[in-house]
Amino acid sequence: MKKTATKLADGREILYFDADDTALRDTTDPRPLEPTTALSEIRRDPATGDWVTIAAHRQGRTYHPPADQCPLCPSRDGWATEIPADAYEVAVFENRFPSLAFDAAAHVGRSDAPLRTSAPAAGRCEVVCFTSDHTASFADLTPAQARLVLDAWTDRTADLATRPGIQQVYCFENRGAEIGVTLAHPHGQIYALPFVTPRTERMITAAADHRARTGGNLFEDLLAAERADGARVVLAGEHWTAFVPFAARWPYEVHLYPHRRVADLTHLDEAERAEFPTLYLELLRRFDRLFGGGPTPYISAWHQAPAASGHELALHLELFTVRRTADKLKYLAGVESGMDAFVNDVAPETAAERLREVATTHG
């Protein structure tokens, strides 16, 4: 893999990842862009302890542009996009409308008042373009292309985790208008966060409680139990297993774990990296076959251990859709939105069976 770093017209960084080590990506952004100013801040909810990001400037971000004006396609004569090159394999660039930005510290103050605790949202938001093909999806990639995306995620995790003040790196993809995606081009995002997310905090607490009760690691024991039971296993390889969790929150939700517990993407070995693309692509294609073959909206989220040590969180990927039938979505009701207490209309065992039924090459 070759990584080429350059700058966009307003000073934001763009990185090209190529499978060919001889690829040349010496491109210049011709757009007359002014540098952006980040005014984001994070505020701590005194009732829960959770950090909330306030990023009012994002109201002006690009919203459902026509396909011929997509800002994530390669640039062409008469249309300069966020990606100056006329072709690319995988491109990663700083978001033009970020929720988090390192220069926020220069513009936003800090408060340590007990009920009014706030700080600059000093972090980084990156956009990951999986392919230059506007009409494709991640599921359309070849295993080699998916491996290049994995390598890009890994590179960015390694880089961002070492930046001052960064506590967690979160790689994810939102796919589909039903999820709220505003750009149709196949892409994901990476957030380098100045705090540990609430869900991760709960996982760390649960892992500590499990260790105190049993002496074992929660995630190792959870994976071993699912593999032994088998009722919710969707597919398995030599190094990874995908299963519907016992207490799934979403109608179709799959967790993908490496068999060897590691903290984050940077610790995967070559055998694990080599097997991941085929299994992950098969999962995405099964999701697309669930409801008649059309594109299924989903969120795909990498859970990685925070930068701070002293916890036992294990790397894993969580994939879920908001669709519960071909023509019905799973909306968050009052008990879910208001109290974070989920009600699932599809039994996890039924979801796993359905995902096995739509298999192609894997059992």
107 is catalytic: no
In a domain, 65, yes or no: yes
In a domain, 221, yes or no: yes
Domain region containing 319: 199-357
Task: Give pLDDT tens digits for 215-271.
Answer: 999 999 999 999 999 999 999 999 999 999 999 999 999 999 999 999 999 999 999
Q: Active site residue: 57, 64, 134, 187, which one?
A: 187
Binned at pLDDT 50, 70 and 90, residue 148 comes out as very high
Q: What is the rounded CA–CA span in Å between residue 352 and residue 235?
A: 9
Which CA distances in Å does 284 have to 91, 104, 125, 213, 360? 21, 36, 24, 36, 12
Mean pLDDT (whole number) for 163-183: 94
Count of the separate structural domains present in the chain: 2
Q: Is the pTM of this model over 0.85?
A: yes
Q: What is the rounded CA–CA span in Å between residue 96 and residue 149?
A: 21
Residue that has been written with the tokens 């774990």 in this structure: 257
Model confidence at 110: pLDDT above 60: yes
CATH code of the domain containing 147: 3.30.428.10
* Phi and psi based region of residue 165 (left: phi greater than 0; alpha: psi -120 to 50; beta: remaining): left
Domain identity same for 139 and 206: no
Domain identity same for 218 and 71: no
Model confidence at 63: pLDDT above 90: no
Binned at pLDDT 50, 70 and 90, residue 59 comes out as low
In a domain, 362, yes or no: no
In a domain, 172, yes or no: yes
